[in-house]
Amino acid sequence: MSLANGRHYFAIPGPSVVPDRVLAAMHRPSPNIYAGELVELTQTIFAGLRRVACSSGHAAIYIANGHGAWEAAISNMFSRGDKALGAITGHFGRGWVEWARRMGIDMETIEFPGSTAIDPARIEEALVADRSHRIRAVLVTHVDTASTVRNDIEAVRAAIDAARHPALLAVDAIASLGCEELLFDAWGIDVLIAASQKGLMLPPGLSFLWFSDKALAASHEANLVTPYWDWKPRSSSAELYRYFAGTAPTHHLYGLREALTMILEEEGLANVWGRHRRLARAVWEAFDTWGEGGDISLNVPDPAARAHAVTSARVGAGGALLLRQWLEAEAGVTLGIGLGMALPTEPAYNDFFRVAHMGHVNSHMTLGVLAAMDAGFKALGIPHGTGALDAAAAALPEGAAK
């Protein structure tokens, strides 16, 4: 007999939980794509996208997943053979750099150990060394969903400015937009990317780019772009189909309108950020407590460098795999696999996993996952410190000590 029957919860960092309201908004006959409601709705969506990224810049929507957004950003910013600097803090940062290389960009990289954030001094140093200003852009990940490191984007901008370097600042915020504080204008971001299936609480299928006037100007000089990926018609056009280089993603747009209403008009962006911060704190407290009595630890030691939407952790001796299996079979919860921490062929691969607390999640969902994990440790005989749920509960209130 299993205790997993009931509503299954995929506590994985995307696709995240889709609110029933978003699903209901998508459940409709196909709309008119030439005129009327959808055309007007799309304009309000562009306004909402600017607000959710705190951006007064341009925005574009792609019918693509996050990898498509990587490709869109690269193809608009560069010409083949251009040089760029990539700062890597995990599997996804590495992936973006690899994408750029495969598209013919000459990537210089700085790799930071998997559990620490970007050191802005290293960025400054690399840019100062680039005396002829060949580096056209700095590619960074805000939250790397694999290591769950969160980088200080404002500090990266300050490093670029301190080096007096004209490079664009391009940020992958796929795992953080709609979850964590993210200020396109105030942080001096030039190109920002996100996707629908994480903080925006939609099914996969849409991705988004925001770009500054400076990035737009740079795209006029670059020649890598192909018609489908060109962000110019996608950010400003007379007809709806030009925004999407073809048929609009009709139902996704209705879902997105609903999600933006929930975030911007109802809960409020600052409260969305605050909810993720507080849920994250509860998760960290639980892990710290479990770690006091067992081989259990968070991947990122410095709380200031931890993501608020997803947490990567380690349970030694294959415990992460056992716990994931137990939660799926006995609790109706699926946790994320560890990514990029060890090769699938290495025994250590079974020591890593991730808990998402991203998007449409509240305290009973996150505390429920933590309680199920606590039960799993007990059922499996995995040594762990006691009192993790007390610690998580104590960390939850606004203004809690840590």
Ligand X SMILES: *Cc1c(COP(=O)(O)O)cnc(C)c1O
Binding mask 103-132 for ligand X (x = CB under 6 A): ------------------------------
Q: Could you give the C-alpha distances from 366 to 38, 154, 306, in angstroms and in order?
A: 36, 29, 17
Give the angle 17-22-26 at the CA atoms, nearest 5°: 125
Which of 352, 391, 349 is CA-nearest to residue 370?
391
331: its two tokens: 């609790």
**Which residue has the closest beta carbon to ligand X?**
66
Alpha-carbon span 271 to 179, nearest angstrom: 10
Listed in sequence order, the residues at least 6 apart from 31 whose beta carbon sits closer than 8 Å to its beta carbon are 37, 38, 250, 254
Q: Shortest Cβ distance from residue 175 to ligand X (Å)? A: 3
**Residue 377 C-beta: closest distance to ligand X, Å:** 27
Which position among 72, 107, 138, 174 is part of the footprint of ligand X (CB under 6 A)? 174
> What's the count of helices (H) and strands (E) in the chain, helices before strands?
14, 14
Residue for token pair 């404002």: 154
CB nearer ligand X, residue 14 or residue 338: 14
Binding mask 78-97 for ligand X (x = CB under 6 A): --------------x-----
Among 38, 49, 167, 175, binds ligand X (CB under 6 A): 175
Closest to ligand X by CB, 359 vs 376, is 359
Which of 55, 65, 147, 151 touches ligand X (CB under 6 A)? 65
How many angstroms separate the CA atoms of 62 and 54, rounded? Answer: 20
* Tokens (6 digits) for 64: 């693509």
* 59/240 with CB nearer ligand X: 59
For the chain, the C-alpha Rg in angstroms (whole number) is 21
Site string for ligand X, 187-226 (x = CB under 6 A): --------x--------x----------------------
**Count of residues near ligand X by CB under 6 A:** 12
- What is the DSSP pairing of strand 135-141 with strand 83-88? parallel
Binding residues for ligand X restricted to 287-316, rule: CB under 6 A: none
Q: CA geometry: angle at 28 spanning 268 and 362, to 5°?
A: 30
Taking CB under 6 A as the criterion, the residue among 57, 66, 86, 376 binding ligand X is 66
d(CA 293, CA 236): 57
**Whole-number Å distance between alpha carbons of 391 and 287:** 9
145 binds ligand X (CB under 6 A): yes
> Which one of the spans 35-43, 120-128, 171-179, 393-401 is the region binding ligand X (CB under 6 A)?
171-179
172 touches ligand X (CB under 6 A): yes
> With CB under 6 A as the contact rule, which of the stretches 123-131, 172-180, 259-267, 321-329 interacts with ligand X?
172-180
Nearer to ligand X, 65 or 289 (CB): 65
Q: Got the DSSP string for 140-184?
A: EESEETTTTEE--HHHHHHHHHHTT---EEEEE-TTTTTTS---T
State in angstroms the smallest separation of the CB of 207 from ligand X.
7
Report, in Å, the least distance between residue 259 CB and ligand X. 16
Of 128, 214, 209, nearest in space to 168 by CA:
214
Q: How far is the CB of 204 from ligand X (least distance, A)?
A: 6
Q: Which of 202, 244, 239 is nearest to 60 (CA)?
A: 244
Q: Which stretch binds ligand X (CB under 6 A): 60-68, 155-163, 323-331, 341-349?
A: 60-68
Q: Judged by CB under 6 A, does residue 359 bind ligand X?
A: no
Shortest distance, position 163 Cβ to ligand X, whole Å:
25
141 binds ligand X (CB under 6 A): yes
Contact residues: ligand X, CB under 6 A = 14, 65-67, 92, 141, 145, 172, 174-175, 195, 204
